[in-house]
Structure 1
């Protein structure tokens, strides 16, 4: 996949950042991985099962931000999201559903509907990282 010129703008700062990708759609996970690596990010994952997501969460490594698919093979991602929130790791949700109820606990989390605009996702994550001062 080619990285569009919009992704190479200086406003997207992912160089040296470790981005956790939890996505069960293989081609989307691969596109996120390829795009973010082209922007200099290191990728944790991508993984498509909640059990694998917890393995990465508990491996002791640093995570700068995350992309979380809301529904992983019928498992909801919210337990992973809760742990990331407790660690103050910024994240975005992705979903293939038109409407999603994430509840008040996650009302402040950006929800991106599929198909995903990867350039916009990268910019949003870079902004979340910058806002956290990490």
Structure 2
């Protein structure tokens, strides 16, 4: 009963953008054996950033913490690997780390089940296109 109430407090705090209270509720819930935090990893990821709902990461360290969390989570919980990799790529591209995102995709795309994911293949193509455009812009700017 208390775990349910704490879960309600967590979601209500997120809805009201009271992230300090939401983080405290998450910290308590993550320690409860009745609460399976591994299935709710996206909520934990949301709470890692400084201002989760703004769409902007003001602190590079908080964003980097999100990427590190995702990489470790993917290593220890293989059931969610594909969706965690998608989230990792989205975080890296949001930070402007296109080369690192493409390197991450190059590492995983040749293996199963990633090679059959249309989303990951599309991300790889779009990131390659973005890197090609930025490198051609650099060459054009250097000639003038």
Greater RCO, 1 or 2 (C-alpha within 8 Å, sep 6+): 1
Task: Assess same fold via TM > 0.5.
Answer: no
Q: Which has the larger radius of gyration?
A: 2
TM-score by length of 1: 0.29
